[in-house]
Chains A and B, each alone.
Chain A
């Protein structure tokens, strides 16, 4: 992947596929580290699946027997000296508190660091693709604190205007740009 934001999109799509109703995407930056955490309340993974999830030949896709999403993210983290961890509770054993958290830490100043890229584009793509899921996006760094909670937007919009309405998506895009301070 050319941008970490594309890995975020890819991993969050797994949450969508796992039937999540809430997906939280948190990016925390310090001077030299970047931590990504994507948590969901989807169906979760069984311990057996979880054990093999970084194996490229472990996948839920049906069109090919290869799944590269998680292995790619792991590689990108490890090539900076960082790491990837996944915790998951499957609905069969955790009927009320199931879900998955995927977290990766990167050392930003490492020469092999993949740039974060267009994270705003990723958030908007996720909302456009799954307007009925609630996303909480938090991005903190020494320079800014950005936060977007689709639950709050939904309260204002009511039932009649969906989050994938073009004008709503444009509002979200401009809101995020302003929060990042590059309007």
Chain B
């Protein structure tokens, strides 16, 4: 059983690292999670980003957050990537697999995946 003792161990481990948390990363990934996004499949997309960013060791650099309706319901699941000093990238009709690719190529590699952006899906 996942015990509370294991949770306490996580606390111990995090002690030295907490300085870096909360939106201090350079990149912010925002997933639309209103009725439209949820119905279109945003939940697995969000999970893929949360898990993928942690597994890729990008937690210090990338923050994953949720937002309401972005206003382009027909393109949901929509994911926006904000990076200081760069133009916002809007990914549309996302899936968990596309999310993995975005983590690898864009968040890690620095090159947006043009194929999934709104400009290429209109």
Total residues of chain A contacting the partner, CB 8 A:
38
Knowing A9-B43, A125-B47, A168-B7, say if A63 contacts B70 (CB, 8 Å): yes
A95 close to B (CB within 8 Å): no
Tell me the complex Cα distance, A128–B10, Å.
Answer: 17
Q: Which of A45-53, A83-91, A156-164 contacts B (4 or more CB under 8 A)?
A: A156-164
Knowing A129-B66, A162-B21, A166-B54, say if A72 contacts B10 (CB, 8 Å): no
- In contact, B69 and A128 (Cβ under 8 angstroms): no
B87 close to A (CB within 8 Å): no
Tell me the complex Cα distance, A91–B93, Å.
Answer: 39
B118 close to A (CB within 8 Å): no
B61 → chain A, closest Cβ, in Å? 13
Which one, A10, A121, A124, A165, contacts B14 given CB within 8 A?
A165
- In contact, A124 and B22 (Cβ under 8 angstroms): no
CB within 8 Å of B: which of A58-92? Answer: 61, 63-64, 67-69, 72
- In contact, B46 and A10 (Cβ under 8 angstroms): no
- In contact, A156 and B14 (Cβ under 8 angstroms): no
B68 close to A (CB within 8 Å): yes
A62 → chain B, closest Cβ, in Å? 8
Total residues of chain B contacting the partner, CB 8 A:
36
Q: What per-residue 1/0 map shows which CB atoms of A2-36 lie under 8 Å from chain B? A: 00001001100100010000000000000000000
Chain B CB within 10 A, most for which of A161, A171, A178: A161
- In contact, B14 and A161 (Cβ under 8 angstroms): yes
- In contact, A161 and B10 (Cβ under 8 angstroms): yes
- In contact, A171 and B6 (Cβ under 8 angstroms): yes
Q: Which residues of B contact A (CB under 8 A)?
A: 1-2, 4, 6-8, 10-11, 13-15, 18, 21-22, 33-35, 38-39, 43-44, 46-47, 50-51, 53-54, 59, 64-66, 68-71, 73
Q: Which residues of A contact B (CB under 8 A)?
A: 1, 6, 9-10, 13, 17, 61, 63-64, 67-69, 72, 118, 121-122, 124-125, 128-129, 152-153, 156-158, 160-162, 165-171, 174-175, 178
6 contacts between A and B (CB under 8 A): A6-B43, A13-B33, A13-B34, A121-B43, A160-B15, A171-B10
